[in-house]
Structure 1
Amino acid sequence: MSDLIIFLKTPKPGFVKTRLASTLGPEAACAAYCQLVETVIDHVSELNQVVLCFTPDNAADQIMPWLRSGWALVPQGAGDLGKRLNRAFEAAFNSGKKRVVIIGSDCPDLSAQDIRDAWTALETHELVIGPANDGGYWLIGLSQTQPELFEDMAWSTNQVFLETMKRARKINLRVKVLRELADIDTEIDWSRFLANRKHS
């Protein structure tokens, strides 16, 4: 019983990709966000147990077009990113899931195989994590709730991955680290993504 949860924001100019918006403008940054979400969803569309977990909680209508047959739609609820991640894990485990993986939409190079690898790793590890090149992570997976990994974290900094690993060691979790992927946060990242798409 495995779950993939994709964290999404309503595609509203000024609400998504704020770093990108500072150079591209809010409208173009929002269009870029939509393209990234669609790329990630295309890459995992063959998977069945997928939940689109969105914010704000009244954004279901805006998220609905990304829903695939058999997938579910769930609001993230209130609180910082850590509270929302922990809540999503708790809800999945409470519903009977055994291996739960959460991703966002910032790493368009991820594949369905990455998710399967994460689920497989969770058969023998308590934590699986995919480091991003900006110091964060593009995937986190658990075999049971671990609230300590999410409390009082300095989110959106280049220390998130290292701090998560430090906390995992402190509570003796068996950790599987996946391949590093590039986050799309800046105009340089976005230009590189577009150039790679052109050549692929």
Structure 2
Amino acid sequence: MPAETPHLHLLAKAPLAGQAKTRLAPLLGLEGAANAHAELVRHCVASACKALPAENVTLWTALDHVHPLFTELREAFGVALCAQPEGDLGARVRYALNSTPGPAMLMGSDCPSITSELITACAQQLASFDVVLLPAEDGGYGFVGTRQDYPALFEDIPWGTKSVLTTTKQRIGQLGLSAAYPATIWDVDRPEDWQRWKSAPVSV
């Protein structure tokens, strides 16, 4: 771990039926999809807290900030809870990254392929690079680390499309920043993703 341990932020919706992981509903139903989402959030928090001290991990909540899942995770792991602000994904990511001093990292709560070892590797890379990204197979990214505030990294990005990573890499080049891409990861969005994880579960 680098001398200045980064802070890790996780974004997570409350597991409400019909509002979380709805693309898994054809396989699991709306209630089952919400339960699957809760399982993914638990897994990601466990991975984060295996890689970093709990005081260096913040869980940013959405939909229902006092949902029992969030209380459970705070009590089990000792992580801090914060409510996600309004705004698009870029605004929320940037807000979280800048809410703590020093280098910061952020990941979604639906990427079980981001292991604690990978989080540790990203933290180490952040000591040498301005930006650390974990590209996702779907054309986005599931993890970002920054040494300081780079507003342009998160503005006018086509969130939710296959162009997110390409656009972000172009922006990194335009800003003259150094970047590391330690691994390509995958997230759980569709029924086949869920089956992929269940057929070969990734350890925390």
Residue 177 of structure 2: which of 170, 173, 176 is its match? 173
Alpha-carbon distance in 2 for matches of 1:22, 1:159: 26
TM alignment of 1:1-200, pairs within 5 A: 1=4, 2-46=6-50, 47-48=52-53, 49-56=56-63, 58-62=64-68, 63-67=70-74, 68-92=76-100, 96=101, 98-197=102-201
TM-score by length of 1: 0.90
User: What SS does structure 1 have at the residue aligned with 2:201?
Assistant: helix
Identical columns (%): 32
Secondary structure of the residue aligned to 1:60 is: coil
Q: Could you tell me which amino acid in structure 1 is paired with residue 95 of structure 2?
A: R
Runs of 5+ in structure 2 lacking a partner? none
Aligned residues: 193
Q: CA deviation at 1:55?
A: 1.2
Offset of residue 197 of structure 1? 3.0
- Contact 1:4 1:115 (C-alpha < 8 Å) held by counterparts: no
User: Alpha-carbon deviation of 1:24?
Assistant: 3.4
Tell me which amino acid in the other structure corresponds to 1:156: G
Moved more, 32-41 or 124-133: 32-41
Whether the 8 Å contact between 1:7 and 1:103 is mirrored in structure 2 is yes
Root mean square deviation, CA, Å = 1.7
